[in-house]
Amino acid sequence: MDNNEVSLLKKALERQKKARKQAEKILEDKSKELYDVTRHLRESNAKLENLLSEKTSELDGVFINIIDPYVVMDLSFNVINMNRSAKEFLGFDHNINKVHLSKFIHPEFLDYTIESMRSLMEVGTLTNYRAKIILDESTVKWVQINGSLIYNKDRKPIAAQGILRDITQEMEVKKLLSEQKKQLDIIVENSPLGIILAKDGQIVKANNTFVEMLGYQEKELKKVTLNSISEPDNETERDSNINEGSNKVTSIVKFIRKNGSKFTAKTTMTSISENDLKSDYQVAIIEDISKELEAERKLKASESRLSALISNLQTGVLLEDEDGKIALTNQKFCNIFNIKANPAELIGKDCDYYEELNKHQFKKPDQFLQRIADILAKKDTTLADELEMLDGRILERDFIPINNDGAYKGHLWAYNDVTISKNYRKNLEVQREKYSSIIANMNLGLVEVDNDDVIQMVNQSFCKMSGYSEDELIGKVASRVIQIKEEQLIPQKNASRLKGKVDSYEVEVIHKNNSVKHWLISGAPRFSDTGKVIGSIGIHLDITDQKHLELQKEKLLHELENSNQGLQEYAHIVSHDLKSPLRSISALATWLYEDYKDVLDDGGKQNLELMQEKVGSMDKLIHGILEYSTANSSELDYSNVDLNDVITDIAEIIYIPEHVQLRVPVKLPVIMADKTKMHQVFQNIIGNAVVHIEREHGLVEVLCKEESDFWHFTVSDNGVGIPKEYHKKIFDIFQSIGHNERSTGIGLSIVKKIVDRYHGKVWIDSTVGQGTQFHFTIKKNENLAELP
């Protein structure tokens, strides 16, 4: 290696040494700078942690019972501390992962959040901050935050704390309630029932249906009172309802239209009041029943005519139900068999008894009974069955089974005394003319057709029902003239007549004027003298009005059911929503007491305690309303309930004064019932009894007496007693005796609802100053199938 190469290597080595020294110096400087920064941060963090620890220690007593998420952060949004609820809600643990809270802010609420933080720094507190946050980078939640700054000893803010509440469901409920209100407005405005809201009898608002009913404009209705446009149709009925003290009265009222005409309406008036002394508003639901009343009148008239027709028939008629009991008969039947009782007295009697009683009137008594047994066994139509009597008379008997939609509903026996017809042809003709006249003029439409469905005979009632004259019907094919919506039905029925079948069915018929009518048809085959089927006979009843009423009734019942369900859900939601602000008020009152108890005077502390008591009372009232709203609607869960265990549990959970003893002298039964409902009944009655005993030694006893169909329970106490005028009132909701603020006035009304569900009764016997006995009955479990 020459000298030049050695010189180059030395120079390169010197450069490397200088570069290394420079790198070491830079590294040393940076390390010192990093060390200083780290030391400074440690000191700052230590101070901050000490301050936070001190503040947290002060707040431990406040937040120990908070179940909502609680978070402490520094002023740069970094999480310092959080409770378990916050970890579960936000989905991270600050002890494991360092998290910056700004990442949860929804983009739509970024500006609002910045402004809220600015307000927090200025004021020191943040109240009811509501915004969206994003969890798991996809889940959107609504939260409400109440927070405040944390200060050091020099009153400089060093951190912030806040309580989060998930209000996602609340916001969804508000949206749902808004939509439901719109839907309710639509339902009210489009309801076929008239609906009005009045204040002290003065109309405030009316829906379109009521406006159309009266012929007034809505602004005109607001100038009149209910009394000026209505008058009671039955004053006695209305007065009796009012005297009962009910806030809901249903009565029949006549309304006066603007043009002076009147219509009859079923009116349900509900009073809505804010206190027990005055009814502020009245809601009236008006249903125009003029057509319904007219239809009922016509139906009753038709039934009366039909009953009169049967009563005056010259045929002995006996109608039996499917159980062999007499459903209907007439005087002719009684006359034929020399029965002294009148037809009305025979209804409900056993037919077997009268068959056995009257068999001696026939020449062949045993054959008479056997023939009845054979006919009933076959249940086929039997016509002109001949019977010989001991006194020489000859009877013809017809048997017609009655079926409805394939179900056997009984049968009709028709007895005719044909003695004269057997001997005198002339008498037969007279009888035929008489019956023909009856058929021609009765309100039931009668048609006879042959086996080809050609009309042989019609009566005047059928012509009136169909709209066709007798000339337009006789000789025509019935199915071509009378248009029936279900075209294949009549051919099918005619085919069944050829087989000797009898039945009843409903059809929709097109009237001659193209209107749709509903008919009830009873059809039977016609036989020749030799017993051959030669056609059929049909009896027609126009049930159009009744059908329309049935459809209208079903529609109204469905609407009412939906409305009741909606109102119940609404009460449930509103009651739950009311509890959230109550919890917040309770928490705030607790914070105030803990933070300022050294500053507040006795009056301030007493006011905070009074606030907590009122919050507790409101919470009990809301809970009572929820229980009341579900007392007769929630599903019953039946099981064997040991009432002795129920009373023991109640004694452990309710407040019983030291001077009062709760006893069960005789062991109570184990019954089949809903355990929760039984617990509610006994707790509400016992809880009411133990707090109204002023004697030195109070006693409450639970007794039971078994009756044939019911369990009869009695809760007896030696308390102050209840005046007689309150014996019924205390079972109404929000009614209580005395000035006990612990009472919500709901407990005993829940008892009544539950007892009603078990088909029982509840009442009291009480003498002021001596004590009270609460009685209630529960239907036994062998009849559970009848319970709702």
C-alpha R_g of the chain: 44
- According to DSSP, residue 479 is labeled H
**652-693 pLDDT, tens per residue?**
888 888 899 999 999 999 998 888 888 888 988 888 888 888
Torsion, Cα 41 43 45 50, to 10 degrees, reads 180
Q: Is 203 helix (H, G, I), strand (E, B) or coil?
A: strand
Give the pLDDT score at 427: 56
The tokens of 36 are what? 């200083």
Question: Nearest-5° angle of CA 269, CA 272, CA 274?
Answer: 160
Give the pLDDT score at 33: 61
The tokens of 143 are what? 């939260």
Residue position matching structure tokens 């001659």: 512
Residue 734: pLDDT band with limits 50, 70, 90: very low
Report whether pLDDT(236) > 50: no
Are 467 and 474 contacting, i.e. CB atoms less than 8 angstroms apart?
no
- Cα(315)–Cα(439) distance, rounded to whole angstroms? 13
Strand extents, DSSP E, 9-155: 70-74, 79-82, 125-135, 139-151
Are 379 and 402 contacting, i.e. CB atoms less than 8 angstroms apart?
no
Type and span of the H or E element at 230: strand 230-232
Q: Is 364 helix (H, G, I), strand (E, B) or coil?
A: coil
- What pTM did the predictor assign? 0.30
Residue position matching structure tokens 């709203």: 629
The tokens of 447 are what? 């048609």
Report whether pLDDT(184) > 70: no
The tokens of 476 are what? 């025509």
Average pLDDT over residues 124-147: 85
Average pLDDT over residues 184-191: 71
Are 70 and 85 contacting, i.e. CB atoms less than 8 angstroms apart?
yes
Residue position matching structure tokens 């050829």: 498
Report whether pLDDT(312) > 70: yes
**388-408 pLDDT, tens per residue?**
888 888 888 899 898 877 788
Residue of 655, 590, 569, 589 lying closest to 620 (CA atoms): 655
Residue of 492, 509, 493 lying closest to 543 (CA atoms): 509
